[in-house]
Structure 1
Amino acid sequence: MKRRLFLGAALGGLAGSLFDPIRGFAQDASARAKPLNLKIMGLKTFVVNAGSLNWVFCKVYTNAGLIGLGEGSVTSKEATIAAAIQEHERFLVGKDPTDIELLWQGMYRFPRWRGGPILNSAISAVEIALWDILGQALGVPIYKLLGGAARSRVRMYVDVGSTPEEFLRARELGYTAAKATPLSPDQNLVSPTKMIRDGVSKLQAIRKAVGDDFDIAVDAHGRCTTTMAIDFCTRVEDLDLLFVEEPTQLEDLGELALLREKTKTHLATGERSFTKYGFADFCSRHLVDYIQPDVCHAGGILELKKIGVLAETYRVNLAPHNPQSLVSTMASLHVDATTPSAAIQESTLNRTAWLQDLFEGTGPEVKQGYAELPTRPGLGVTLNEKVAAAHPYKPTNRPEYRFGDGSVTDQ
């Protein structure tokens, strides 16, 4: 209890000092937009089926015709998150969309019930849309309102399969890093020893194919028990991985601390953690080498920036999680652009023709594995409602993984 009180007091002190300049950037930008007398007129959600999952978007409408776009996709809970986003409308209508910090605090604190993936993702979606409005109103990319550039481009990695051929394809496209998910259940059955052994073999083949200078990231996806995580991470130490993501579950940080003591493999986690409070222990205790907040879940653009400052304070790398759409990608890139601790950004290669139509050809410009800094005002991506309507919501379920005795496993 004493330790938790100490950490709470420490984070409170950080909030009063480290985060003040960030709030100052937001407040200054809001003040510049005040003469426009912007007011929120309404909010609308869009759930778009993208195959095995659905994306959840929201648009915030203003009296000046400016429309902000945000995303809060949560797999297998898309209808629930859409309802949670829509519930913010009655609080937002009539308010100034440029008062982003004030509105965030209201959405987070006024309902009393807070936290978790649904409520935080709903706030995140709205918050991203508010920044889109502010950037459009002032005619500048969002990152310019957060302190400006901390780098000239953003290093990217792509999510691929777990074969050498897929990694070689990523390298041919100019990327210098890619991520595999080699710990795969066999027909939804988890056989711990076999899964670890096969996963290690897959990574050995990938390393042999790509050589020593291509970075290999691994997503363990929270599928390991404590003993499995220790076994896997120690057995891949000689492969010099970029990181192993989510090697443990979230409920007990002591498990992560134990793994940290047992292996020299670089560790990462954070996609299912929320707000700056959820990252205090990861950073202050140096439990991981990379934190992975998701802009669509952790609280939005400004909260992701605050988490990045927290990471910088403790010399931990920021590697935002992002398996979602181009809305999430662009929101992440604006934070990466202006945050010194941002080391690398997750992205996907899903570029089918209708997705290009969905976002009207907007999105990041990637050259040789690096994204150029955004140049368009606001978020820099748009959503075509007609294309969205042509791909309506379809309920999806996640796989049901089990051990050989029929008991339920994590994922």
Structure 2
Amino acid sequence: PVYQLLGGKCREAAAVYVHADGENPQAVAENVLAYMEQGIRYVRVQAGGYGGRHAPDVRPQGAPDGFYFDPKHYMRTTLRTLAHVRGVVGEEVELLHDIHERLSPIDAVGFAKEVERFKLFFLEDALAPEDTAWFQRIRQQCATPLAMGELFNHPHEWQPLIAKRLIDFIRMHISQMGGLTPARDVAIFANMYGVRTAWHGPGDVSPVGHAANLHLDLWAPNFGIQEWCRFDDLHYEMFPGLPEVRNGYMYANDKPGLGIDINEKLAAQYPPHENISWWTESRLPDGSPARP
């Protein structure tokens, strides 16, 4: 197994976090409670997807179609949602939130201060990669743990943040950064500065990518948490050896390599669909594109 090639396991399984969303705070809280019943202890809370929904439509005449995002509306609704969820579930579950780089730097500073009272496990992607100098401002203002890295490509993007201890979790995308060996190097470097790993693992990461994440998680002494999306039975049939999650932990098998295979004949029956996700067409109230 790859975890053995890396140096052996530090743990038998990796704790995971999952995503809870909903049309209103009550629905989000119900989803969090449902996950808790499954043994999940880490849940990322979103209020209607990235940037929220139901923002007032104040676009100017002639503005293009798209998903309209109002930063102030998003901050208000998210704070209300976090307050409601924390009030319902208490402190027996760790909550996370992903800004997804949608806010201006100064708004991100203020938002990080506001969510401090909810005791998040971490606040993800508070800033865009081109704005990371602002992490110093956030650090000066609050103690909210910060996670960053899924868009990083070059060492100069992550080295200063880790060396200056401006983030608490590094969550790069394994294939985007170059594979297992660069990821191992980043984890070792981060360990020297007390920064933990939280590799990128949403639904658009393949089962093979999730298996790679898991082997790094089992090995890394500074493992923090692993993002996980639930797969259905078809995925487990198509990718024999796909890691299993039980009671909030992801487990690997002891097969060679990543322990996962691909049923190519079955996969050929499901060609990819070229569809555009709604959150990739986000626009600010005046119709201009929203990052990222």
Q: Which TM bucket (shorter chain)?
A: 0.7 to 0.9
- Consecutive unaligned residues of structure 2, counting only runs of 5 or more, are 23-27, 56-66
**CA separation in 2, counterparts of 1:378 and 1:304?**
16
Residue 198 of structure 1 corresponds to 77
1:48-87 paired onto structure 2 within 5 Å? none
Q: Which amino acid counterpart does residue 43 of structure 2 have in structure 1? A: A
**CA separation in 2, counterparts of 1:206 and 1:295?**
32
Does 1:189 pair with 2:68?
yes
Aligned-residue offset at 1:408? 1.5
Q: 1:223 aligns with which of 102, 106, 113?
A: 102
Q: 1:268 aligns with which of 141, 147, 169?
A: 147
Does 1:157 pair with 2:25?
no
Does 1:359 pair with 2:219?
no
**CA separation in 1, counterparts of 2:252 and 2:10?**
10
Aligned-residue offset at 1:277? 4.4
Residue 38 of structure 2 corresponds to 173
Does 1:328 pair with 2:209?
yes
SS at match of 2:18: strand
Distance change (3 Å), C-alpha of 1:164 and 1:225: same
Does 1:146 pair with 2:6?
yes
**CA separation in 2, counterparts of 1:365 and 1:405?**
45
1:213-292 paired onto structure 2 within 5 Å? 213-274=92-153, 276-292=155-171
SS at match of 1:236: helix
Identical-residue share of aligned pairs (%):
29
**CA separation in 2, counterparts of 1:213 and 1:393?**
40
Aligned-residue offset at 1:369? 0.9
Residue 29 of structure 1 corresponds to none
Check conservation: 1:354, 1:387, Cα contact below 8 A. Answer: no
SS at match of 2:130: coil
Q: Which amino acid counterpart does residue 393 of structure 1 have in structure 2? A: P
**CA separation in 1, counterparts of 2:133 and 2:216?**
30
Post-superposition CA distance 1:376-395 (Å, at most 9, x none): 11111111112221121222
Q: Which amino acid counterpart does residue 210 of structure 1 have in structure 2? A: V
**CA separation in 2, counterparts of 1:352 and 1:206?**
27
SS at match of 1:252: helix
Q: Which amino acid counterpart does residue 184 of structure 1 have in structure 2? A: G
Higher helix share: 1
**CA separation in 2, counterparts of 1:346 and 1:178?**
9
**CA separation in 1, counterparts of 2:207 and 2:89?**
28
Residue 343 of structure 1 corresponds to 224
1:6-155 paired onto structure 2 within 5 Å? 141-155=1-15
Residue 304 of structure 1 corresponds to 183
Check conservation: 1:275, 1:303, Cα contact below 8 A. Answer: no
- Consecutive unaligned residues of structure 1, counting only runs of 5 or more, are 1-140
Distance change (3 Å), C-alpha of 1:248 and 1:174: same
Aligned-residue offset at 1:276? 4.3
Aligned-residue offset at 1:222? 0.8
SS at match of 1:241: coil
SS at match of 1:175: coil
For normalisation by structure 1, the TM-score amounts to 0.62
Post-superposition CA distance 1:148-189 (Å, at most 9, x none): 112232111112325011111111111110112333144721
Check conservation: 2:129, 2:157, Cα contact below 8 A. Answer: no
For normalisation by structure 2, the TM-score amounts to 0.87
**CA separation in 2, counterparts of 1:277 and 1:403?**
30
Higher relative contact order (CA 8 A, sep 6+): 2
**CA separation in 2, counterparts of 1:252 and 1:310?**
22
SS at match of 1:281: helix
Does 1:390 pair with 2:269?
yes
**CA separation in 2, counterparts of 1:356 and 1:160?**
23
Residue 32 of structure 1 corresponds to none
Q: Which amino acid counterpart does residue 283 of structure 2 have in structure 1? A: R
Distance change (3 Å), C-alpha of 1:160 and 1:316: same
**Which is higher, the Rg of structure 1 or of structure 2?**
1
User: Which runs of 4 or more aligned residues in structure 1 lie more than 3 Å from their structure 2 counterparts after TM superposition?
Assistant: 275-278
Alpha-carbon RMSD across the aligned residues, in angstroms, is: 1.7
Q: Which amino acid counterpart does residue 355 of structure 1 have in structure 2? A: H
SS at match of 1:274: coil
Distance change (3 Å), C-alpha of 1:353 and 1:154: closer
**CA separation in 1, counterparts of 2:156 and 2:8?**
25
Q: 2:282 aligns with which of 401, 406, 409?
A: 401
**CA separation in 2, counterparts of 1:328 and 1:373?**
13
Q: Which amino acid counterpart does residue 224 of structure 1 have in structure 2? A: L
Point out the more displaced range, 264-273 or 185-194.
185-194
